[in-house]
Amino acid sequence: MELLSKEIEKDLKLLNPFYQREVYDFIKFLQAKQKRNNDTDYLSSIPGMIDSILEEGEKPISDYSKNLDW
Amino acid letter, residue 67: N
The structure's pTM equals 0.48
Q: Write down the mean pLDDT value for the chain.
A: 88
Confidence of residue 68 (pLDDT cuts 50, 70, 90): confident
* Confidence at residue 65, expressed as pLDDT on a 0 to 100 scale: 84
* Confidence at residue 21, expressed as pLDDT on a 0 to 100 scale: 95
* Confidence at residue 48, expressed as pLDDT on a 0 to 100 scale: 93
- Contact of 37 with 46, CB cutoff 8 Å: no
Write out 17-42 in H/E/C secondary structure: HHHHHHHHHHHHHHHHHHHHCCHHHH
Q: Can you tell me the distance from the alpha carbon of 9 to that of 20, in angstroms, rounded to the nearest whole number?
A: 11
Residues whose CB falls within 8 Å of the CB of residue 49, separated by 6 or more in sequence, listed in order: 43
Give the pLDDT mean for 23-36: 87
* Confidence at residue 22, expressed as pLDDT on a 0 to 100 scale: 95
